[in-house]
Amino acid sequence: MVFFLTKRLIQSVFVMLAVAFLAFSLFRYVGDPVSQMTGVETSVEDRERLREDLGLNDPFVYQFVRFTGDLLKGDFGYSYRTRQPVAEMIASRIPATLELGLVALMISLLVGIPAGVYTALRPRGFATQTILMLTLVGVSIPTFVIGIMLIFFFGVQLGWLPTFGRGGTVSVGGWETSFLTIDGWRSLILPALTLGVYQLTLTMRLVRAEMMDVMQSDYIRFATARGVPMGRMYFRHALSNTMVPVITIIGLQFGGVIAFSIVTESVFQWPGMGLLFLESIRFVDIPVMGVYLVVIAFFFVLVNLIVDLLYVLIDPRLRISDVS
Amino acid sequence: MSHYLKKSFVLGGALSLAALSVQAESFNWASKTDPQTMDPHAVNSTPVLSFLNNIYEGLVRRAPDMSIEPSLATSWEPLEGENGWRFNLREGVTFQDGAAFTSEDVMFSYERASSEAADTRSWFSPVTDVRIVDDYTIEFLTNSPNPLFPSSIANFMILDSDWAKSNDAVLPAKDSENFATLNVNGTGPFTVASRDPGVKTVLVPHAEWWDTPTHNITEATFTPIGNSATGLAALLSGDIDFIEPIPLQDVEQVESRDGFRVIEGEETRVIMFGFGHEHDTLLYSNDVTDTNPFTDPRVRLAAAHAIDIASIDRVLFRGKIEAASQLVPANISGYSEANQDRPAYDPERAKELLAEAGYPDGFSFGLKCTNDRYINDEALCRAAASMFAAVGLDAQLSTGPVRDYWEQLRADDFDMYLLGWSPGTFDIEHPVRFLLHTQDDEAKLGSWNFGNYSNARVDELLPLILKELDPAARQDMIDELVKITQDEVAYIPLYTQPLIWAVKDNIDVTQRADNFFMLRWVTVN
């Protein structure tokens, strides 16, 4: 187990280096940071001096090596835009993104799994057909349109929920959380729904397909013949056996939710990492963009690792093979 | 990792003021961009200077009509016998931390704002020396008579020297942060109670402000909202009281709802097309590859005659733009009334001019435009391209975000390009200095003259205009200069861009043509 973990962690360093390299090779095409950092009246001479000071005239490979070298030393650099330490900027945005992603995930699981089971057991029911159609509509509409529609309906027309931001947050040991205030939860609902709709649909359809498959299998027939109670059969015997593929997909999707909550964060002015990344692109804030992409790569690696560990928990056969 | 800054002395001041005022009013406003820094000398950009003008003050300040009025200086006069200005400073002014304001702070701020680390140093390029006469008198010496100097430093904000020194913020932070990046200590009407960069900034009144407050705000919260639709929803839902700008297409929606209104005005920004005057060939032409037709003034004039501003106004801007004849709008000092006609929309004349210049069938060329910098910039360029096409000028349009646009223009990668210019000094000398004077990096002239338009007489007139003290003689020279650039069609000035703000009905705000938003002119009813 320890060997497995160490191996994965070493792999993750290479993944992050590769991401950093790719990102850096693209930054040259994003734009000119110096034009963003200076006003119109700044002289050509001053602009050139700034460019030189920032090391932007250095060859690409040299810039990349300096960036990764500083990163390995734990020096994440300073933002071109705000001059703040990048590590601090990103760290202060992580809680918002993670909490949003978690609530979106919860919505997708708590609604998606029961709905998947239900639609598998009653494949021809009217409710099933309605649910399937609604979720199809849900995935077909782009995220930002869903977000804007929710904002205008619940925020502007009905006035029930806030239209932007995180509302009241409480700092718990430096972690700004929305979970402890009513205002925080009210602000979470719309963005989490927006972000969760796609995941919800995916989870539901996956659970449904797997369930239908499992329900056809021999052991369920035998269980039925043996008179195993329905509830126990559906959830203990059938559902557990659908979970391995479901967890794989949900895990990978969760990485995506964290990484690409950019659209949702922008629509709701949600102060997470995605919004920070968008602002950084607009200002060609290379240090922030670089560190953000590396952090996101790390998240992906981490989520994959957790998924692998969950397999072992869910599927006893993997535990046995591990012992042997 | 708490990034909130708490200031007990500020809160104390706010509480005492709240007790005095009849009603406590909080005010929430939003704009597209968060000020990058709280340091008044680090970044010379509108979002930063506009925001910090609520906190810091200069020797002079601008009134709602853009005129210059006393601020930290009560009066100023030209020096006798030498070039420069004497400023008589206001007595009894205190910074937000309670320190007294004296000429030493002005001296310190001058040194800071003109240092190599500052982005504001170009304001002080005419300054040769600064002399403290006494605690409340200071003199700025300039290299030649400089009648515009007092108005050119309206955004030169004064820091407390002791505060900056004791907090290790003697110079603006360049590649890392320092104390002044996040903390403030000005003499202005408001101070920062808390700041979470990119998320929200809370301002409270400065109780010891020297001037009589005309606002009734007790707490003002600023939120940057980058997405226009989100910003509009935030206003309509009542979460915020004021937002600028809102997109043109949303104006009707705001106006149609009870409880909101739209405030429109002319910004000072003139939108124009520029040419590659010194390019030998066209870069993006399919047919003309050995020469650059735009070096012929007749071809440039033909392009100007092809543009139908009235249609652009009606179709793209809902009648909210003002056609421009020169590089500044009429409310800017030095505007040449003698030259207020622009080339009329006349496609037949355009075709004749092209034929005279040897291009009876026109030619193709590249047109570069931004798509996220000016209001409807991409749509404008599409409309212009089809207008050019009607006279035989086949514009190959390429549009892109502003973040790599200037770099392309600096690399001469264009045949014709879109540019908007707002005169920072609110005088016509500004665009002449940056857009019309021949490129000269050493003298810091013509730095935005991408196509390098060059006319010896224009170059000769600029320094004369800068130092002429007699308004009539000065205007004569300006009229001559504008006439030359119009005759030669140095640029095609198109129109002045509108300012569109949206506000709740119970809020009074004052719109200034430089798009600065001053909290001290806000009343919550």
Q: Closest-CA residue in chain B for A271?
A: B199
- Nearest CA of chain B to the CA of A81: how many Å? 6
* Touching A: B residues 416-435, CB under 8 Å: 424, 434
Residue A133 is assigned to a structural domain of this protein = yes
Q: How many CB atoms lie within 10 A of CB A172?
A: 11
Amino acid code (one letter) for B246: I
Q: Which residue has the tokens 């309206």?
A: B154
d(CA B476, CA B338): 9
Q: Could you tell me the residue range of the domain that residue A179 belongs to?
A: 86-282
d(CA B521, CA A204): 55
* Predicted local distance difference test score (pLDDT) of residue A321: 53
Residue A232 is assigned to a structural domain of this protein = yes
DSSP string, B359-420: -TT-EEEEEEEESSSSTTHHHHHHHHHHHHHHTTEEEEEEEE-GGGHHHHHHTT--SEEEEE
Amino acid code (one letter) for A242: T
Per-residue model confidence as pLDDT tens digits over A211-254? 888 888 888 888 888 887 877 777 777 787 788 788 888 887 88
Write down the mean pLDDT value for chain A: 85
Q: Closest-CA residue in chain B for A176?
A: B2
d(CA B146, CA B468): 8
CA B496 remoteness from chain centre: 13
Q: Given the cut 0.90, state whether the ipTM is greater than it.
A: no
Low-confidence stretches of chain B (pLDDT < 70) are: 1-24
Per-residue model confidence as pLDDT tens digits over B336-358? 999 999 999 999 999 999 999 99
d(CA B148, CA A91): 47
Q: Which of A50, A91, A155 sits opposite B1 (nearest CB)?
A: A91
Tell me the whole-structure pTM to 2 decimals: 0.87
Say if the Cβ atoms of B176 and A171 lie within 8 Å: no
Residues 6+ apart with CB under 8 A from B146: B83, B84, B85, B126, B466, B467
d(CA A14, CA A270): 31
Reply yes or no on whether the pLDDT at A259 is more than 80.
no
d(CA B216, CA B17): 10
Q: Dihedrals φ, ψ of B102, to 5°?
A: -140, 180
- Nearest CA of chain A to the CA of B230: how many Å? 6
Per-residue model confidence as pLDDT tens digits over B260-303? 999 998 889 999 999 999 999 999 999 988 899 999 999 999 99
Say if the Cβ atoms of B44 and A45 lie within 8 Å: no
Say if the Cβ atoms of B236 and A156 lie within 8 Å: yes
- Nearest CA of chain A to the CA of B119: how many Å? 6
Stronger pLDDT, A10 or A4, i.e. the higher one: A10
DSSP string, B179-213: HHHH----SSSEEEEEEETTTEEEEEE-TT-SSPP
Burial class (CB in 10 A: 0-12, 13-18, 19+), A136: exposed
* Predicted local distance difference test score (pLDDT) of residue A320: 56
d(CA A43, CA A37): 13
Residue A30 is assigned to a structural domain of this protein = no
d(CA A12, CA A160): 44
Q: Is B225 on the interface with A (CB under 8 A)?
A: yes
* Predicted local distance difference test score (pLDDT) of residue B24: 63
Say if the Cβ atoms of B175 and A83 lie within 8 Å: yes
The token pair at B144 is 């030649």
Residue A251 is assigned to a structural domain of this protein = yes
Strand segments (E) across A49-189: 170-172, 175-177
Q: Which of A39, A42, A92 sits opposite B3 (nearest CB)?
A: A92
Burial class (CB in 10 A: 0-12, 13-18, 19+), B115: middle
Say if the Cβ atoms of A282 and B403 lie within 8 Å: yes
* Predicted local distance difference test score (pLDDT) of residue A318: 67
- Region A302-312: mean pLDDT is 80
Q: What is the dihedral of CA B400, B403, B408, B414, to 10 degrees?
A: 30
The count of residues in chain A is 324
The token pair at B328 is 């500044």
Reply yes or no on whether the pLDDT at A258 is more than 90.
no
Q: Which domains does chain B have, with CATH numbers?
A: 10-259+505-524 (3.40.190.10), 267-498 (3.10.105.10)
What band does A76 get if pLDDT is binned at 50, 70 and 90? confident
Question: How many structural domains is chain A composed of?
Answer: 1
Say if the Cβ atoms of A164 and B401 lie within 8 Å: no
The domain that contains A213 carries what CATH number? 1.10.3720.10
Return the minimum-mean-pLDDT range out of A154-163, A292-301, B15-24: B15-24
Percent of chain A with pLDDT over 70: 97
* Predicted local distance difference test score (pLDDT) of residue B10: 40
Which residues of chain A have a CB within 8 Å of the CB of B3? 88, 92
d(CA B478, CA B473): 9
The token pair at B195 is 């700041």
- Nearest CA of chain A to the CA of B199: how many Å? 6
Residue A114 is assigned to a structural domain of this protein = yes
Percent of chain A with pLDDT over 90: 17
Return the minimum-mean-pLDDT range out of A90-104, A232-246, A310-324, B50-64: A310-324
